[in-house]
Structure 1
């Protein structure tokens, strides 16, 4: 079996990485994510990666989620941490009965 590993930076658009990194230092000073980073997280719907489509989520594959989390962590570890924790909760939506 052959595995191919890309650099995390190859998975996200350079503009996204640059935007996240531009506020990384200020994030450390604020002790919470910068509002521009949060706006980007919501715009990209990264918190909905594991939410089933029936509930309005993105329902992307686990390998794609892991690539996204790795790339976000590469851009800014704090962003990667927050998105990992907050998006992970959406996975439980897959266990809900989508009945009427």
Structure 2
């Protein structure tokens, strides 16, 4: 399983989005976590389809800062426990039952 976490410092500009799409293409992660997106759910929704990842949880930015998003493929069993402006908490359950 490939997981990528990126503090993107804002995805409101073209170069940041292009770099994210390039990273997605090169690494092809099963789970992608983004912090400091500086975007709301509506804009992240558009990004989800560009990334080709089925599922997501988003915490909108507050003012001009913050914002969290986690995306994962449909084959990944991600169980969400909680969301705040500081974290997204969840477990990934492997096919053999291992939880992390």
TM-score when normalising by structure 2: 0.34
Higher relative contact order (CA closer than 8 Å, sequence separation 6+): 1
Please identify which structure carries the higher helix content: 1
Q: Which has the larger radius of gyration?
A: 1
Please identify which structure carries the higher strand content: 2
